[in-house]
Amino acid sequence: MASSWRLLVQGLTSLVFLCAHADEYVRPPPSPLVLTAHGKPASHPQQVHISIVGEKNMRISWVTDDRTRPSVVEYGTSPGKYTASATGDHTTYSYFLYKSGAIHHATIGPLEPSTTYYYQCGKAGDEFTLRTPPARLPVEFVVIGDLGQTGWTASTLSHIAGGGDYDMLLLPGDLSYADTQQPLWDTFGRLVQPLASARPWMVTEGNHEIETLPVVEFAPFVAYNARWRMPHEESGSASNLYYSFDAAGGAAHVVMLGSYADFGEGSPQRAWLERDLAGVDRRRTPWLLALLHAPWDNTNQAHQGEGERMRRAMESLLYEARVDVVFSGHVHAYERFTRIYDNEADSRGPMYITIGDGGNREGLALKFIKGHKSAHLSEFREASFGHGRLRIVNETTAVWTWHRNDDQFATVRDEVWLHSLAAGEPAAAAGGRPVDEL
Ligand SMILES: [Fe+2]
């Protein structure tokens, strides 16, 4: 059964590669999929990942093939000594001939900040370790988009793991590239487990999460919503497709938008975003970040103009709120723009960063358009796989770095220091390290 899935996936991959030749840009040949096996009893937890829920709680999510296992997490601050437990619930879903295992979610806490906890899921299997984020600055985010599960993905994950510690991972869409092949959600969950069980993974959806199929499956986001439950209720959102959360005790507010949920005038997402941004006090929250999938600014040949409708609908809201940075994915390359509003450089607008270079099976988007109307706003662009890190140093200063996978060791290929827009009229973001930070 597994080999037939594999053949089907490889066939689809080849088809995508052939289709890519029909486009104007040519992607490199696919990297083989990395299909991570479970290899343990059906009662043992797998695909463990964690996400923050409010200021002091953490949601633990995992899957068991045995659907009778309890949705309980036991935890404590010493290995093997569990002083607390929390019971959640589980769900399952069906997709054509596929039936998922039990997908458990349990919320633990209240937890201490910057603290290591040891935990076991469902009273069986391995012990896992997590560290809670800090309650104040500094805080460091890893940002990766369009991850997939190829050799390139494995390279990105190894660079993240070996590139220094961090507090939380942000993913602006396109996770598993299961693309209706549901066992690929399971293999993806197992591939990312070493990282995703240890630090919170906060994700929003991409087009590869939609997974509707004529006749077979009409409902979108079935697997994504079941497996990657995010704290939308806690942020007043009625949909798992858009939500927000605070980090570093409220010093940073992160808005996760849905490129594939309605965003126009009168839509629930737009109404929610207006409410959410209105509730941000920039005196208490000097850093405001947003993530979405299809970029609003993009000089790559791939996916030109796909984010334009959303930009027209929502850009002014982010601009008026003085969002500091907008991260997107979708385009399989790295590109950093200056601060922009309405297609012009504007020192009060967000910096736009496309980071869709996590390593998926579709390969890189190699061609940037030299004469693109926004080319003068694009400050760094390169079609390589990699990941980014945003370290918010204090209330006024943050540093963004991009690390590409081509290098054997973690090497910073792009670096820019940012000044919070809440700190008054900013100096233009400048590359390089300020003298006083050396
Ligand atoms: Fe995408």
Residues with C-beta atoms within 5 A of ion ligand 1: 174, 206-207, 330
pLDDT 10s digits, 96-139 = 999 999 999 999 999 999 999 999 999 999 999 999 999 999 99
Task: Compute, in angstroms, the gap from residue 369 CA to the centroid of ligand 1.
Answer: 19
Encoding tokens for residue 53? 């829920």
pLDDT, tens digit, for every residue of 140-162? 999 999 999 999 999 999 999 99
209 Cα to the center of ligand 1, angstroms = 9
Per-residue pLDDT tens digits for 363-390: 999 999 999 999 999 999 999 999 999 9
Superfamily (CATH) of domain 46-131: Purple acid phosphatase-like, N-terminal (2.60.40.380)
The more confident residue out of 21 and 82 is 82
Sequence-separated (6 or more) residues with CB below 8 Å from residue 436: none
Catalytic residue selected from 303, 330, 387, 403: 303
What distance in Å separates the CA atoms of residue 241 and residue 263, rounded to the nearest whole number?
11
Choice among 279-288, 343-352, 401-410 with the minimum mean pLDDT? 401-410
CA separation for the pair 176, 204 (Å, rounded): 12
Told to judge if 303 belongs to the known catalytic residues of this protein, a careful annotator would answer yes
pLDDT at residue 21 above 70? Answer: no
pLDDT at 259 over 50: yes
| CA 291 to centroid of ligand 1, rounded, Å | 13
What is the average pLDDT across 167-194?
Answer: 98
> With contact defined as beta carbons under 8 Å apart, do 199 and 154 qualify?
no
Angle subtended by helix axes 151-162 and 183-196, to nearest 10: 20
CB 162 within 8 A of CB 13: no
Question: What's the mean pLDDT in 411-434?
Answer: 72
- 328 CA → ligand 1 middle, Å: 10
The CATH architecture that domain 139-437 belongs to is 4-Layer Sandwich (3.60)
Where are the domains positioned within the chain?
46-131, 139-437
CA of residue 177 to ligand 1 center, whole Å: 9
Q: What is the pTM of this model?
A: 0.91
Q: Does residue 138 have a cis peptide bond before it, meaning omega lies within 30 degrees of 0?
A: yes
pLDDT digits (tens, 9 = 90+) for 211-242: 999 988 899 999 999 999 999 999 999 999 99
Which pLDDT value is given to residue 30?
A: 66
Distance CA 64, CA 68 (A): 9
Q: What rounded mean pLDDT belongs to the chain?
A: 91
